[in-house]
């Protein structure tokens, strides 16, 4: 599509320049004064003006020494040339340069836009990757903390259970000691009672 537009514009430019070249020179004399073809600043149109002793038209090219060879009525920065096919070639070259620069600028913008899109995608992917990695790290840390908590709870439960069992054992020990004490005292009482009975019988026999 771009090549078609470039070719179309190029053909139109060549056609316009050819039409201008064919119409000028020769320029008709006005009041006995010679008229010559010069290039205007607007659309590079060529019109007949008076002043030059030589035929031709004005171009913006330099001679072999790089010096402008302007002849009246050529304006500043232009030279008078009798070669009719040279200016369209220059204009064609300029147009191609402009189109090339325009195409390169458009290509640059497209590439820059594509690069920006890719950069955004990459940043999004990196962000997602970072968030996923962060999530995994947090999940792993949470699992570690959970294990620690469960271990702490287990130790705490076992410690509490140990204290409860120790307390229960102490209670049972106290009960047992009390029971043993009562049993001993009862047995001691029976023994003493039996001894007292024996002594009483002996006393009664006397």
Residue 35: φ, ψ to 5°: -120, 140
pLDDT for res 163: 92
> Quick one: which of 11, 69, 73, 78 has its CA closest to 44?
78
pLDDT confidence tier of residue 8, bands split at 50, 70 and 90: low
* 86-205 helix and 2-23 helix, angle to the nearest 10 degrees: 160
CA distance 38 to 20: 11
pLDDT for res 150: 92
Q: Where are the domains of the chain?
A: 22-80, 89-148
pLDDT for residue 144 is more than 50: yes
Rounded alpha-carbon distances, angstroms, from residue 75 to 59, 71, 78, 80: 10, 8, 6, 9
Whether the pTM exceeds 0.85: the reply is no
pLDDT for residue 122 is more than 60: yes
pLDDT confidence tier of residue 203, bands split at 50, 70 and 90: confident
SS (H, E, C) the chain: CHHHHHHHHHHHHHHHHHHHHHHCCCCCCECCECEEEEECCCCCCEEEEECCCCCCEEECCCCCCCCCCCCCCCCCCCEEECCCCHHHHHHHHHHHHHHHHHHHHHHHHHHHHHHHHHHHHHHHHHHHHHHHHHHHHHHHHHHHHHHHHHHHHHHHHHHHHHHHHHHHHHHHHHHHHHHHHHHHHHHHHHHHHHHHHHHHHHHHHC
Q: Please name the residue that has the structure tokens 């903390």.
A: 145
| Most confident stretch, 25-29, 59-63, 104-108, 117-121 | 117-121
Each residue of 127-139: pLDDT tens digit? 998 999 999 999 9
pLDDT for res 37: 60
């Amino acid at each position: 599509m771009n090549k078609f537009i470039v070719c179309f514009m190029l053909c139109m430019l060549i056609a316009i320049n050819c039409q201008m070249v064919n119409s000028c020179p020769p320029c008709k004399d006005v009041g006995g004064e010679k008229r010559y073809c010069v290039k205007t600043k607007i659309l590079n149109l060529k019109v007949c003006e008076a002043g030059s002793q030589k035929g031709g038209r004005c171009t913006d090219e330099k001679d072999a020494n790089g010096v402008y060879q302007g002849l009246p009525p050529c304006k500043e920065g232009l030279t008078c040339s009798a070669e009719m096919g040279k200016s369209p070639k220059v204009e064609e070259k300029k147009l191609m340069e402009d189109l090339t620069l325009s195409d390169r600028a458009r290509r640059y913008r497209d590439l820059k836009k594509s690069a920006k899109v890719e950069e955004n995608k990459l940043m999004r992917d990196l962000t997602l990757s970072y968030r996923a990695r962060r999530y995994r790290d947090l999940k792993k840390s949470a699992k570690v903390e959970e294990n620690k908590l469960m271990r702490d709870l287990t130790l705490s439960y076992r410690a509490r259970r140990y204290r409860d069992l120790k307390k229960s054992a102490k209670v049972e020990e106290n009960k047992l000691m009390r029971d043993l004490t009562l049993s001993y005292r009862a047995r001691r009482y029976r023994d003493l009672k039996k001894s007292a009975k024996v002594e009483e019988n002996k006393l009664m026999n006397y």
